[in-house]
Structure 1
């Protein structure tokens, strides 16, 4: 038996059975009233899958900004564990990129969808592949895994522990200082910022506004796109 991962104060862990999705488990337990700060995780060796349950005290439009916190936590934990030459970036709204290729994602769900409503819970999940999902290396040049990027000495449980610590640290920054500090840390890691994009819509990705919404310029018009639009429905 492998040792259970160690979580920082205020967080606790609960392993899920094999073939159970930690995100789905986290959502079902959040609906039932599990403690905020519980992380559900799988012990699979090929992919890290984990989901954190939070109990926000703010409207959804503000609470959803914690998704950026979880992304920063993942980038910082990879930065701490991976070889120093391995760059980690974001692709809005939910992709993690390593060495320029997609290597994981975040998911999120809440019990409300109205930006002004107060959610009882918010679940943020992460998924990071350690081994190739299928096919031969190079078959999908826009997709990668940690082992293909030289991160062979990292284990899923070590990354989970590190993610929990970095995410808690940035959650505290977020709660103490608001979104600005999170935004300043997130922005340099987004490799599509300032570029023309096709997804989720076509336009120039100008940046994020003070509420964490994407600013997308199309000709002379600039529209906002909220992370709430990409939350999973439960």
Structure 2
């Protein structure tokens, strides 16, 4: 029996065939004018693939920070469903880490790329592996899945349901209180903050500015790098 997720008020779910990418479906439907708050998802049991359509009423440089909201929503969902000893962290701009290894990602796209332009739509998606891909789970030690991290009791639909609720809650905080509250919640979960990184380029990741841009210091110079640069092209 297929588990059917329950979505909170203001969100509505739409299942897509398992051979179809929910993110791509969400983008195509957003272009056609689907309602904001629609969550497209696959019922496949090997991973969670879902995408939420938003209709921001702010410039892209503000709206794009919904990426951080989606990450926080996912971390809180795993915190509620997974064993308490399973740590969840972020790797800027879009990776999710469980027990120190990459375990899925956030995907996002909008109909504009100009930071000052107001997008008609913004799609934010998640992809979280539940079982190992391939015959040798240890082939990629920097990657993991929820089954390998002791989360065998967590199902994709239960995680989707929880993610939708926590993400909606944090979207409300974001709209009501601005980005700083989101940043305060996000920073402690980023395990490369304060560290030297090589991606997207070499430097010390010293924080986020008020627009959610990465602050990367290399010697005496500090530059800003926007999430917008890493949005998927549609």
Q: State the partner residue of 2:206.
A: 206
Question: 1: CA distance between counterparts of 2:135 and 2:101?
Answer: 16
Alignment deviations for residues 180-221 of structure 1 (CA, whole Å, 9 cap, x no partner): 100000000000000000000100000100100000001100
After TM superposition, what 4+ stretches of structure 1 lie above 4 angstroms from structure 2? Answer: none
The CA RMSD over aligned residues, in Å, is 0.6
Question: 2: CA distance between counterparts of 1:18 and 1:81?
Answer: 24
Structure 2 contact 26–51 (Cα < 8 Å) conserved:
yes
Q: 1:137 Cα deviation (Å)?
A: 2.3
SS of 2:137's partner is coil
- Structure 1 residues without counterparts, runs of 5 or longer: none
SS of 2:165's partner is helix
Q: 1:135 Cα deviation (Å)?
A: 3.3
Question: 2: CA distance between counterparts of 1:135 and 1:187?
Answer: 36
Q: What is the TM-score with the length of structure 1 in the denominator?
A: 0.99
Question: 2: CA distance between counterparts of 1:181 and 1:124?
Answer: 19
Q: State the partner residue of 2:156.
A: 156
Which structure 2 residues correspond to residues 87-106 of structure 1 after superposition, within 5 A?
87-106=87-106
Q: State the partner residue of 2:187.
A: 187
Alignment deviations for residues 73-129 of structure 1 (CA, whole Å, 9 cap, x no partner): 000000000000000000000000000000010010000000000000000010000
Question: 1: CA distance between counterparts of 2:90 and 2:101?
Answer: 10
- Structure 2 residues without counterparts, runs of 5 or longer: none
Q: State the partner residue of 2:169.
A: 169
Q: What is the TM-score with the length of structure 2 in the denominator?
A: 0.99
Which structure 2 residues correspond to residues 47-196 of structure 1 after superposition, within 5 A?
47-196=47-196
Structure 2 contact 108–232 (Cα < 8 Å) conserved:
yes
Size of the aligned set, in residue pairs, is: 234
SS of 1:200's partner is coil
Q: 1:133 Cα deviation (Å)?
A: 1.1
Structure 2 contact 14–38 (Cα < 8 Å) conserved:
yes
